[in-house]
Structure 1
Amino acid sequence: MTIEGVADALRAATVQLAVASDTARLDAELLMAHALGLSRGDMLLRQRDLGIPDTFPALLDRRLSGEPIAHITGTRDFWTISLSVTPDTLIPRHDSETLIEAAVDHFATQSPATILDLGTGSGALLLAALAQWPGAQGLGIDASPPALAVAQGNAMRLGMADRAVFRLGDWAQDVESPFDLLLINPPYIVADLPLSGDVLREPASALFAGADGLDDYRRIAPDLLRLIAPGGMAAIEIGHDQAASVTALLKERGLAVALRRDLAGHDRCLIVTNPG
């Protein structure tokens, strides 16, 4: 088949990618837009007038080899912001936006003044929250210096470096002040669970959490009561089958817990408050 333009190239790439990706058409469009130096929307609007860039086949080969789109393009959209990502951080998933949605509903017409993001990674949750509430200040904690460098770079590019502080740390250890909003997306995959797809290229330290997937929840739970300010909340991401087990851990610490599902209907977020 002769490929004459961008539209033909996208169709051909979609067929190739369908073997390895559940989002083949989207992948092809994102790669083409990246090769052209355009947004996906602009590329789609102008595709009939554009030529196929020389770099596109190499980008397609990288995706066919299993490299995540976000690592190839170096960016990922999340909530209302666009983030730089690297193999040093977990790729932000749209499912995690459920945590921000829960916070928006909780605070309604109010605004959290202080935000804590434990396990900040690329800074996705903290920076999304700071974009949502321009008057807020935030602290992001992570155990990975390379991840913190990515988060700091994102804060600078988004014009939030004066509102976001990033610090090396071990969950909430040495974090003292209470916060209006806590955002927490810890590792929660059972150790040695066979994985496939993009997740194979992501840091294991951001994925696995012991024999039952609950190790990090156990470490985080004891600090929540003191860290949630009056009227505040914590939004904690969980695996699809962990609602009951993590809720039990949190209630043992005297916390009130409610469940929120993501757009696909899967258990995704625990909303935690201080009943006192």
Structure 2
Amino acid sequence: MHPTVRRCLESAVRVLEAAGVDSPKLSAEVLLAHVLECSRFDLHLDINRLLSAEETVSFEALVERRRGGEPVAYLVGSREFYGLDFRVGPAVLIPRPETEQIVELCESWFQAEDAFVFADLGTGSGILAVTLAYLFPHARGVAVDLSPDALAVARANALEHGVADRVRFVCADFCRSLFLPGVFDLVVSNPPYVTDAEYGEVSGEVRDFEPRLALTSGQDGLGHIRRVVPRVIDMLAEGGEFLFEFGWRQGVAVEKILRQYDNELTEIAVHKDLSGHDRVAVAKKIIA
């Protein structure tokens, strides 16, 4: 006998609760909606729908992988960011809602019709570069990442959202000098900032599945930030903006790093996220 949507969900939730994974009910609903190619809302509108044998096998296979801790975003192959769907996989970090604050700040500074040149350092799946190019159709950008596999994901996302002709992807270490001086109006980054100690305490879902290269940055988590700030100052045009994300305990240290360059940077500030934690730093290159 074929199981119903209700039965499948109830069974999956019990399995995932017993395994101790995060958000077992949400996980079960997202996975089943993915298999049935519908929304989570649709599941509950048709709770007595019968699954085919093929659908049942597919769903149970995903639940088993989820039981082992594999993140839902990797299982379904996508995650929403700023209203857009992005492909994700083990080569890239799963987008977090905190990173959306960078885009919000950019939207507060630039008008939709503005033409400007930006760089996204450590682009990963391309969420910042692609979203900025999507929101600002006259903007052009460069997205840098050390991982060729991550850049393949980012390129696919740029194609998906119709901005591939305005974003150039570069495989390189963004802490090195890569560009001519003064060519960018905006530089954004979500660099690695997890400390070695914090990495030892993160959940298995993160530690066992997401790429460590994109997460950690030495003993205090600030290695990439220290190295990239002078590079960004060189890259920025006069009056250009720099925004980057950092760990919620690092606000004071990040502001101290930026103020070492107060002869070249101005309007240095730290913005809090919706949880009230320090999260995004901003600075502007001084106009000589």
* TM-score, shorter chain, exceeding 0.5: yes
CA distance 1:234–1:248, change in 2 (3 Å): same
- Deviation of 1:3 (Å): 9.3
Give the equivalent residue in structure 2 for 1:196.
203
SS at match of 1:241: coil
* Equivalences, count: 275
Letter matched to residue 179 of structure 1: F
- Runs (5+) with no aligned partner, structure 1: none
- Deviation of 1:252 (Å): 0.5
Give the equivalent residue in structure 2 for 1:51.
51
Letter matched to residue 232 of structure 2: L
2: CA distance, partners of 1:247 / 1:29: 42
Give the equivalent residue in structure 1 for 2:126.
123
- Deviation of 1:76 (Å): 1.1
Give the equivalent residue in structure 1 for 2:192.
187
CA distance 1:206–1:47, change in 2 (3 Å): same
CA distance 1:229–1:43, change in 2 (3 Å): farther
CA distance 1:247–1:110, change in 2 (3 Å): farther
Task: Tell whether the 8 Å contact from 1:180 to 1:233 is kept in structure 2 after alignment.
Answer: yes
Query: Residue 17 in 1 paired to residue 16 in 2?
Result: yes
Alignment match of 2:224 (pick from 192, 202, 216)? 216
1: CA distance, partners of 2:115 / 2:254: 25
Q: Identical aligned pairs, as a percentage?
A: 37
- CA deviations 1:7-37 (Å, max 9, x no partner) are 3432442343345333222211110111112
- Deviation of 1:112 (Å): 5.4
1: CA distance, partners of 2:21 / 2:104: 28
Task: Tell whether the 8 Å contact from 1:112 to 1:181 is kept in structure 2 after alignment.
Answer: no
TM (norm. structure 1) is 0.91
Give the equivalent residue in structure 1 for 2:137.
134
Give the equivalent residue in structure 2 for 1:35.
35
Alignment match of 1:162 (pick from 160, 165, 178)? 165
SS at match of 1:234: strand
1: CA distance, partners of 2:158 / 2:76: 19
Structure 1 stretch displaced more, 144-153 or 228-237 = 228-237
Letter matched to residue 197 of structure 1: G
- CA deviations 1:156-198 (Å, max 9, x no partner) are 1222111111011111521225322211011111124312132
Task: Tell whether the 8 Å contact from 1:102 to 1:260 is kept in structure 2 after alignment.
Answer: no
Structure 1 stretch displaced more, 149-158 or 172-181 = 172-181
Query: Residue 266 in 1 paired to residue 266 in 2?
Result: no
Structure 1 stretch displaced more, 252-261 or 35-44 = 35-44
Letter matched to residue 178 of structure 2: D
Structure 1 stretch displaced more, 179-188 or 38-47 = 38-47
- CA deviations 1:126-159 (Å, max 9, x no partner) are 1111122122111100111111111111111222
TM (norm. structure 2) is 0.87
2: CA distance, partners of 1:135 / 1:109: 8
- Runs (5+) with no aligned partner, structure 2: none
Task: Tell whether the 8 Å contact from 2:69 to 2:204 is kept in structure 1 after alignment.
Answer: yes
Give the equivalent residue in structure 2 for 1:174.
178
Give the equivalent residue in structure 2 for 1:149.
152
Task: Tell whether the 8 Å contact from 2:113 to 2:137 is kept in structure 1 after alignment.
Answer: no
CA distance 1:64–1:235, change in 2 (3 Å): same
Letter matched to residue 189 of structure 2: I
CA distance 1:8–1:231, change in 2 (3 Å): farther
- Deviation of 1:60 (Å): 0.6
